[in-house]
Amino acid sequence: MEPLTHLFKCTVCHEYTLEEDRCPRCGGSVASPYPAKFSLQDKYGEYRRRAKRKLRMSAD
């Protein structure tokens, strides 16, 4: 369930597009708005670490 996996964003006009070569609107180059798929996992990882730390603190 990753509907945004193939979504790109124009670096020029910031229009979202499914084209991975160039923006259909202005012809500018496109880039993934989510450069790192990892960032989401990182966020969850950090959240988990934080939660763990909190848990440990309350346990002490």
> Among residues 10, 49, 51, 52, which is the contact residue for Zn ion, using CB under 5 A?
10
Q: Which residues, 6+ apart, have CB-to-CB distance to 20 below 8 Å?
A: 6, 8, 30
| Residue 16 or 44 having the CB closest to Zn ion | 16
> Among residues 7, 9, 12, 34, which is the contact residue for Zn ion, using CB under 5 A?
12
Local structure of 47: helix, strand or coil: helix
Q: Binders of Zn ion among 14-43, rule CB under 5 A?
A: 15, 23, 25-26, 28
> 């259909």: which residue's tokens?
24
The two tokens of residue 13 are 């006009």
Contact footprint for Zn ion (CB under 5 A): 10, 12-13, 15, 23, 25-26, 28
